């Protein structure tokens, strides 16, 4: 008899706009994902594994939590705070272009930092060590990876205080972060990647050279994905303040050509480097990114 599938209804950005607390947003997003599965296929994801892991054959029997065994008849080992499965770094772009919002209900930056908080929340609940780096032209915030609950509070507190500001230098900033990496791990880059594609690709190569598995979360407003304007437009660069006036057809032609070439170059490099590249519209449920993370994490173990 086929098991009936549970209907999943993920939270969309417009449902979370009234919630100002990033911690509550992240909790709602992650709990919504948990509710979407009858039984999670990801090790460490369900609450069963927050404090325990299965006993492994060959380990000393004294490691078994015998009280837990008496209650459940399952051989498990208590998982302590310092037992870290994975070293992960979240790299968040706070450049001025991330302020843009047209057809979405959140700016790209608000969407991106909500994603970052949710990713940190789920990784730390799995006892992974998580760090945060925030950049525009330079690295503005750098929190080394740790796996404690205090670390989650530190990351979310930092995310709540940050505001987008300066010009983009994504490639050089990510390259600088790559120089600081010492341990093999996972890097999650959240950005609109409005920078020279060659410098971006070089920084991705540097991360891979430093033995990092990489997930690219490419956050764009829906208008940037499907630009379709017919009226005359005044276009202003949010980073430099420069303005030009274009008719809709001209603007559409140059946007589609330029954005198409830009995306193609970076996506091809990601495939070549075995990097997961996920295009995220600011109208999409946040769980899409979490599922990509969990699938990548499952492949690493």
pLDDT tens column, 248-289: 566 666 667 878 899 999 999 999 999 999 999 999 888 877
Poorest-pLDDT segment among 26-30, 84-88, 206-210: 84-88
8 Å CB contact between 119 and 77: no
Q: What is the pTM assigned to this prediction?
A: 0.77
Output the pLDDT for position 1. Answer: 36
CA pair distance 209, 227, nearest whole angstrom: 36
Residue 79 exposure: Cα atoms within 13 Å on the Cβ side = 23
What tokens appear for 214 in the block?
A: 């990489």
Output the pLDDT for position 256. Answer: 74
Domains along the sequence of the chain with CATH: 47-78 (no CATH), 87-300 (3.40.50.410)
Output the pLDDT for position 148. Answer: 86
Q: Which residue has the higher pLDDT, 236 or 96?
A: 96
Output the pLDDT for position 248. Answer: 58
CA pair distance 202, 140, nearest whole angstrom: 21
> Coil, strand or helix: which one is 284?
coil
Residue 243's φ and ψ, nearest 5 degrees, are -125, 145
Check residue 97 and report its DSSP letter: G
What would the pLDDT profile of 182-233 be if each residue is shown by its tens digit?
889 999 999 999 999 999 999 999 999 999 999 999 999 998 888 766 656 6
What would the pLDDT profile of 93-149 be if each residue is shown by its tens digit?
999 999 988 877 899 999 999 999 999 998 888 778 999 999 998 899 999 999 888
CA pair distance 265, 198, nearest whole angstrom: 9
């Amino acid at each position: 008899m086929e098991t009936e599938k549970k209907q999943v209804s993920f939270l969309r950005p417009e449902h979370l706009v009234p919630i100002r607390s990033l911690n509550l947003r992240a909790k709602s997003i992650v709990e919504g994902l948990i509710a979407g599965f009858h039984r999670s296929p990801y090790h460490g994801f369900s609450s069963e594994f927050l404090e325990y892991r299965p006993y492994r054959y060959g380990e000393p029997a004294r490691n078994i939590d015998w009280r837990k065994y008496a209650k459940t008849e399952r051989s498990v080992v208590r998982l302590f705070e310092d037992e870290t499965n994975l070293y992960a770094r979240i790299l968040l772009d706070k450049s001025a272009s991330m302020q843009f919002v047209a057809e979405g209900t959140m700016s790209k930056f608000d969407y991106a930092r909500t994603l970052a908080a949710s990713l940190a929340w789920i990784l730390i609940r799995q006892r992974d060590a998580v760090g945060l780096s925030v950049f525009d032209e330079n690295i503005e915030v750098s929190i080394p990876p740790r796996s404690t609950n205090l670390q989650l509070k530190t990351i979310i507190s930092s995310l709540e205080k940050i505001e987008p500001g300066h010009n983009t230098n994504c490639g050089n900033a990510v390259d600088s972060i790559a120089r600081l990496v010492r341990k093999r791990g996972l890097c999650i880059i959240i950005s609109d990647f409005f920078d020279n594609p060659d410098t971006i690709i070089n920084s991705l190569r540097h991360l891979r050279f430093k033995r990092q598995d990489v997930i690219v979360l490419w956050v764009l407003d829906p208008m940037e994905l499907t630009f379709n304007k017919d009226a005359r437009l005044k276009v202003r660069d949010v980073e430099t303040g420069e303005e030009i006036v274009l008719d809709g057809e001209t603007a559409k032609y140059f946007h589609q050509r330029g954005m198409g070439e830009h995306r193609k170059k970076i996506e091809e490099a990601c495939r070549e480097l075995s990097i997961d590249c996920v295009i995220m519209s600011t109208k999409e449920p946040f769980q899409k990114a979490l599922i990509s993370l969990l699938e990548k994490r499952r492949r690493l173990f």
